[in-house]
Amino acid sequence: MNIEDYDYDLPENLIAQTPLKERSASRLLVLDRENKTIDDKTFTDILDYLEEGDALVINDTKVIPARLIGFKEDTGAKIEILLLKNLNGNNWEALSRPTKRLHIGSIVTFGDGLLKAKIESILEDGIVHVTLIYEGILMEVLEKLGSMPLPPYIHEQLKEQGRYQTVYAEILGSAAAPTAGLHFTEKLLKDIEEKGIEIVHITLHVGLGTFRPVEEKDIRDHKMHVEHFIVDKNAAAILNETKKRGKRIIAVGTTSVRTLETVMNKYGEFKECEEDTGIFIYPGYTFKAIDSMITNFHLPKSTLIMLVSAFAGREYIMEAYKHAVLERYRFFSFGDAMIIK
């Protein structure tokens, strides 16, 4: 379980800096776990790998403009705050930078005082708990002052903020997009439904747990950060019926995978629930909920490459990533996709 087993060489110019003009024009790497084949397709070919009666599970979380740049009220020091999770009311968990300039009671002000954040506690790894002070409706304030919290490996400015949202984004609460869903268009989703595939909505608000790097040499020592999820009664019923009929559950993105596996682990079936999950899936894990997944290409040494390695086998995944590099696929959030079946 050595972290180095999940490393790979990636030329920097293969990290996608901007989304393609057409969402579904991305490439699709098709992995067949049974036959250990690797095929190069385009994302619109996804229809060929979905069958009537299958359930396609999508994460309908919506990214909030959670990245805020402000100044410490007493010293004027520049502070960046990334809102991660609403704890209750106006209390939020956030990521701060530089944390060393903050202390309990510090006030960080944004937009000439339109929004303020009072530091209530300082935890590990730059995590802080803050109370937000503002007038009016918070999301309207964030729309004015905040920006999309793009990952640090994206250096280009995003011209259209909506391109970091899925077309089915609905429930506000994420600090990052469930990027495997960025490839779908409304037309493609309609085509999928017309083929007789159920599209099932669940929600997981993406936070630090998804993109926090693994630093421990033995990956089993890594501690996941919890994220909030919702599975409603209708989604649970459709998924249970899909299983009962012997059809497949295909998860779009690792966030959907983690949600479904959490529920199945706890209840032995799909169930209406709203809870937190800190599930960490790595090789040795036995999948109970999903039969296939659609995902993007993930960072070296990340929990996400460990998750797909658990599903398809580490050596097979590393071979696929090597192929993707040689074939010059686009990597990470705005990059290309793969389906593992």
SS3 158: coil
CB atoms near residue 156 (< 10 Å): 10
CB atoms near residue 56 (< 10 Å): 22
Q: How far is CA 15 from the centre of its chain?
A: 17
Q: How far apart are CA 259 and CA 301, in angstroms?
A: 21
Count of all residues that appear for the chain in the document: 341
Look at residue 210 in the predicted model and tell me its pLDDT. Answer: 62
SS3 53: coil
CA distances to 259, 264, 304, 311 from 286, rounded to whole Å, are: 15, 11, 16, 8
Q: How far apart are CA 166 and CA 177, in angstroms?
A: 8
Q: How far apart are CA 225 and CA 65, in angstroms?
A: 21
> Based on the number of CB atoms within 10 Å of its own CB, is 222 exposed (0-12), middle (13-18) or buried (19 or more)?
middle
The two structure tokens encoding residue 69 = 């740049």
The two structure tokens encoding residue 159 = 């011209």
Look at residue 265 in the predicted model and tell me its pLDDT. Answer: 98
Q: How far apart are CA 336 and CA 338, in angstroms?
A: 7
pLDDT in tens, the chain (341 residues): 899 999 999 999 999 999 999 999 999 999 999 999 999 999 999 999 999 999 999 999 999 999 999 999 999 999 999 999 899 999 999 999 999 999 999 999 999 999 999 999 999 889 999 999 999 999 999 999 999 888 889 998 888 989 999 999 999 999 899 999 999 999 999 999 999 999 999 999 998 666 677 889 999 999 888 899 999 999 999 999 999 999 999 999 999 999 999 999 999 999 999 999 999 999 999 999 999 999 999 999 999 999 999 999 999 999 999 999 999 999 999 999 999 99
Omega before residue 149 within 30° of 0, cis: no
CA distances to 107, 111, 133, 178, 338 from 71, rounded to whole Å, are: 8, 9, 15, 30, 42
Token pair 């009962």: residue: 244
Query: pTM (2 decimals)?
Result: 0.93
Q: How many C-alpha atoms does 43 have within 13 Å on its Cβ side? A: 26
Q: How many Å is the Cα radius of gyration of the chain?
A: 20
Q: How far apart are CA 263 and CA 303, in angstroms?
A: 19
Alpha helices, H only, the chain: 138-145, 186-194, 208-211, 233-244, 254-267, 303-312, 314-326
Q: Single out the residue of 291, 297, 308 nearest to residue 338, CA to CA.
A: 297
The two structure tokens encoding residue 313 = 């086998």
Look at residue 209 in the predicted model and tell me its pLDDT. Answer: 60
